[in-house]
Chains A and B, each alone.
Chain A
Amino acid sequence: MIAFRNVTKRYGATPALHQLTLTISSGAIFGLLGPNGAGKSTLINLLMGFIFPDDGTLERGDWLPRRIGFVPERPAFPSRCPADEYLMIAGQLVGTNAAVLRNDIAARLQQVGLHHAARWRVNQFSKGMLQRLAIAQALLSDPAFLILDEPMNGLDPAGQKEIRDLIKSLRREGKTVLFSTHRLEDIAGVCTHVGILKRGRLVRAGSLDALAPLRDQVVITIAGAPTLQAIAALHPDITLDGNTLTLNGDAIAHKAAVLRALLEMGAEIQSLSHQRTTLEEIYLEAMR
């Protein structure tokens, strides 16, 4: 478990993070969301130990570098270094046996679609390929905790989907992942937990389930002006406003019964929608 407690970080007089308190549990896929300059990379750099907090404490549990995979925001590589040589150095630093490492490197390059470019020098790589190489490096030696700073940067839509699928597969393997992004679509369907940063402050944090159900309702609009009081009386969480029925809370579970009753009384259903608070709404509300 990782715990930031009242962590503040300043660059000169400029605060990058202010009184941040955040816990990341083992097995979570934690998406760190925020606009550019919100403090996402600062939080990740603190966690990686590249920089130190000015105030507050950071607990990193049983942190072992060999169990951590890291992709920086803008991956950079030693100039003119072949991809496989770069991965070999990275693997040797965590003490992986050379024979095991060679197989691991081949598997990781295959996983990120760079198997054909193993001997290419990094200066021959496109931006997307460099990003994939950084991800291959992070996956070396089977890390338990992956920290990915804007991992979709520089990738085309297909590449972004591959990374989202990869993160989902890591979730199934029980790994902990922290990744930052400023794109909402990277979070939805991938993360179990979300933290939203705004100008160095954590304005929302928690599981998606805990954040999402701010609004969850089924709205049914009936054509004409039939008498709907009998339907509204089916459940206390059903409200009637003119020719619109709104099912809230437990009443949502009775949606089928309500529809059946409407059809039996010959009502013409004009529209039906299940409205939930979207992550976008949560984000936009947090940014206000």
Chain B
Amino acid sequence: MTRRVLSLSLAFVRNLYRTLLGMLPPVLTLLVYRLSFTYRNQGDPAYFTAMGGIGLAFVGVVTALLIADRANRAAMYSFIARLPRRAEFLFAVVVATLFITVAMAGLYTSLVLGFHMALTPIELLLIFPRWLSIFILSATLGLLMSRLASRHNSHVIVFVVLGGMALSREQIRYLANGQSSWFVDGVEFVVRPITDALTINLQSSDVLPALAVTWLYATVLLASAVWLFQRKDLLWME
């Protein structure tokens, strides 16, 4: 299975980079870099971890949507026909997204280290697993937001839920007439492990539960995408 998923994911990456859309992940990464270091020329490891993690997670979601869109076409019929399990097709989308997001993390890190700050190899080693767990989460979230894994327009529900979660605490409080809302509390509860994964002190082992929960979220999202895709009628257009 590993070989099939790797072959397919490399095909997805090449397929994306043969189009102009392949420029989008590096362009977005440069934008994230510009935005995170426009107002401060110097950063510290905590700032770099948090800003880079959030920005690159966004790049990961967009990349997953781009790859899933290109995988959701008739050109893929002959490939999916050769897979013993449909789920492998989705795994390949996630792996292809990770390849690109990790490469973009390399680009972002090189720019930051080249022009703004220094990080020790130990600090980089401590940051990588935090970012990787966030990247996996963003890849699986992007997959679930795509038409590829959508059944009965389930991807629209994901957009609505994310939109609701993106509303700031104050806005929701305002909408709820100043009352504390179960929705706000719920969103905070859900998002806390993700923010913890990016903000807890680099040397602290307190981050481990947050990383575990982030992986759990990614697993749940991927399992949901597989469940939706498994019994979906594939009527792909050219």
Residues of chain A touching chain B, judged by Cβ–Cβ distance below 8 Å, are: 45, 48, 50-52, 64-66, 68, 70-72, 74-81, 85, 89-90, 92-95, 134, 137-138
Contacts and interface: CB of A to CB of B under 8 A. Distances in A.
Nearest to A87: B78
B40 interface: no
Contacts of A80: 18-19
Given A74-B238, A78-B15, A50 B233 contact: yes
B18 A79 contact: yes
Contacts of A95: 3-4
Nearest to B5: A93
A59 to B, nearest CB: 18
A94 B78 contact: no
A248 B18 CA distance: 66
Contacts of B73: 76
Give the size category of B's interface with A: 20 to 34
Contacts of B8: 89, 93
A95 B3 CA distance: 8
Contacts of B84: 64-65
A50 B234 contact: yes
Contacts of B77: 50, 70, 72, 76
Given A48-B81, A65-B81, A93 B4 contact: yes
A70 B7 contact: no
Contact of B231 (A52, A71, A72, A76): A52
A70 B3 contact: no
Contacts of A74: 74, 238
B124 interface: no
A65 B235 contact: no
Interface string B50-87: 00000000000000000000100111011111111000
Given A50-B234, A95-B4, A89 B79 contact: yes
A81 B7 contact: no
Counting from the closest, the 6 A-B pairs by CB-CB distance are: A76-B74, A93-B82, A92-B7, A51-B233, A76-B75, A80-B18
* Residue of B70, B78, B83, B238 contacting most chain A CB atoms (<10 Å): B78
